[in-house]
Amino acid sequence: MTVVPNPSGSARNARGQAEGEEGAGFPWRMVSASVLTISVAMLPGFLPGALAIQLADDFDITVAGVGVVVGVFFTVAALASPVMGRVAERTSWAPSMRLAALVAAANLGLTAFLATSVITLALIAIVGGVGVALAQPATNLGLARCTVKDRQGLAYGFKHAAVPAAVAFAGFAVPAVAIPLGWEWVFLIAAIVAVFAALFIPFDPLRYEVHQGPDVKPEVLGRLSTPLPLLIVLAVGAALGLMGIGGLATFLVLYSVDVGFSAAAAGALLALGSVFGISMRLFAGWKIDRRAAGGFSTVAVFLLTGAIGLAVVGSGVQVLVVVGSLVAFTFGWGWAGLFTFSVVRANQAAPAASTAITQTGSFVGGAVGPIVFGIIAGGISFTVAWIAMAIFLVVAGGLVRFASGRLPS
């Protein structure tokens, strides 16, 4: 097996080549580091919604206030994402991932000790937004460098399972930590996990990299293969998809309590839905590795199915809220890993730069979605808000399908 020099031009040593060949089956260390990094980087975007009831015991925070805090987090991430993608390409994946994890630790720790209002929560969220903007392209680059092509689908499935894993942590933390001990302890524990994630990221990254094929040569590294207009269409589709599903992750606990669930049961439902989302992301990644095509078209189907789940959630009937939530989490969130894998597969020479563009759309959706949902739910009703989110998913599915039919073969 041949090897490729890293972007800085330094050659791989003999030990690195041997380790790369030995670990070419599946890069479990790199995948585990990616899951930890993305999980802790995303927690500042999910914990405020899951802990809104406990936060309200200490200071005034409304549905709209939660939307603003989460919106600030994702807005900063969207603005910083294109720059952070280039930073990850130039500095390599391991140091970028480590810095992202430490920034997440700072965000979570500052929240635990300093958050006393919606304003302070929003200001601290700025730090977290920068961290997750770096975490996403850095982990995408690392997986592209450390995974052979026929295992990349599963690798990205694991990586994107980190997002619902972060939501599951937030959901379980409500009955397990926040109710008996207080919301501050949730953020403090999360900060400690983030520090562990930073230490777990390999300090000898070349040891884990493997050759990706003849199309990835030093002289073409960093060049996009997909036309920029199509990447932008995909980014808009991702934005609308995350706008729709972001309301579920942020407001399911508040909504469930509003229709009669206990706070503990609402947190458990959020965690259970996240487990369903994790399972689908892993299954979709495993399945796509065994097919030559169909990534984006499958994403479109997932988005449309997730829209049905969101519409069912809006019924307000407890049994249907449970069923709709599980469908929405499974399909409305199950597409993300498959989406990123498809972008990377089409842009092997620039995995961080290409996914930074589409990830910008995801961050925009994550920023705008909770704000829009909070405004609609607070000003009209939760039911109308859920229907609006479902419509976003339908349009997102249409855009992804449109772009997939025009990608270079």
Could you tell me the CA-to-CA distances from 168 to 46, 54, 362, 368, 378 in Å, in that order? 10, 17, 20, 22, 25
Instruction: Taking residues 307-317, report their average pLDDT.
Output: 92
Mean pLDDT computed over 370-396? 90
Q: What is the pLDDT of residue 408?
A: 63
Tokens of residue 336, six digits: 């993300």
Q: What is the DSSP letter of 220?
A: G
Q: How far apart are CA 174 and CA 272, in angstroms?
A: 13
Closest CA to 87 of 141, 163, 25, 18: 141
- pLDDT, tens digit (0-9, with 9 covering 90-100), for 154-198: 887 888 788 878 888 888 888 889 989 999 999 999 999 999 999
**Model pLDDT, residue 224:** 65
CA atoms within 13 A on the CB side of 117: 3
Strand, helix or coil for residue 140 = helix
Tokens of residue 187, six digits: 């953020």
- pLDDT score, position 125: 93
| CA atoms of 20 and 146, how far apart (whole Å) | 8
In order of 5, 36, 203, 222, 254, the CA distances from 249 in angstroms are: 41, 19, 34, 34, 10
Q: How many helices (H) and strands (E) does the chain have?
A: 16, 0
Q: Please, how many CA atoms are within 13 Å of residue 20, restricted to the half-sphere of its CB?
A: 24
The mean-pLDDT minimum among 24-28, 372-376, 399-403 falls in 24-28
DSSP letter assigned to residue 117:
S
| Spatial separation of the C-alpha atoms in residues 30 and 35, rounded to whole Å | 9
pLDDT in tens, 239-276: 999 888 878 878 888 899 989 998 889 888 988 988 89
Helix/strand/coil for 130:
helix
Length in residues, the chain? 409
Percent of the chain with pLDDT over 90: 33
Rounded Cα gap, residues 70 and 78, in angstroms:
12
Give the alpha-carbon dihedral of 222, 226, 232, 233, to 10 degrees: -160
25: region left, alpha or beta (phi > 0 left; psi from -120 to 50 alpha): alpha
Q: What is the mean pLDDT of the chain?
A: 83
Which band of pLDDT confidence, cut at 50, 70 and 90, is reported for residue 15? Answer: very low
Query: Among the residues of 314-381, which ranges form H helices?
Result: 318-327, 336-346, 351-379
**CATH superfamily of the domain spanning 24-202+226-404:** MFS general substrate transporter like domains (1.20.1250.20)
Question: 62-110, pLDDT tens digit by residue?
Answer: 877 888 888 899 889 888 888 888 888 788 899 999 999 999 999 999 9
- What is d(CA 217, CA 26) in angstroms, rounded to the nearest whole number? 22
Tell me the pLDDT band of 26, cut-offs 50, 70 and 90: confident
More confident site: 60 or 299: 299
Q: Is the pLDDT of residue 218 over 60?
A: no
Query: For residues 296 and 193, is the Cβ–Cβ distance under 8 A?
Result: no
* Residue closest to 271 by CA, chosen among 284, 253, 283: 253
Contact 342/295 with Cβ under 8 angstroms?
Answer: yes
User: pLDDT at position 12, please?
Assistant: 41
pLDDT at 205: 86
**First-to-last CA distance in the chain?**
27
Q: Give the residue extent of every domain in the chain.
A: 24-202+226-404
What mean pLDDT is predicted for residues 363-381?
Answer: 85
**Model confidence pLDDT, tens digit, residues 100-138:** 999 999 999 999 999 889 999 999 999 999 999 999 889
Q: Is the pLDDT assigned to residue 2 strictly greater than 50?
A: no
Per-residue pLDDT reduced to its tens digit, 286-306: 777 776 555 788 899 999 999
Task: Copy the structure tokens of residue 252.
Answer: 């399911």
The answer on pLDDT for 217 being more than 50 is: yes
Provide the H-helix boundaries in 259-335. Answer: 263-288, 295-313, 318-327
CA pair distance 169, 178, nearest whole angstrom: 12
Q: How far apart are CA 28 and CA 15, in angstroms?
A: 18
Burial of 377: CB neighbours in 10 Å, binned 0-12, 13-18, 19+: buried
d(CA 226, CA 176): 46
Candidates 386, 70, 344, 395; CA nearest to 238 is 395
Evaluate if residue 6 carries a pLDDT over 50: no
Least-confidence region, from 5-14, 163-172, 197-206, 357-366: 5-14
Selection from 168, 299, 169, 316 nearest residue 242 by Cα: 299
- In whole angstroms, what is the distance from residue 406 CA to residue 409 CA? 9
**How many Cβ atoms sit within 10 Å of the Cβ of residue 48?**
29
Name the pTM for this structure: 0.74
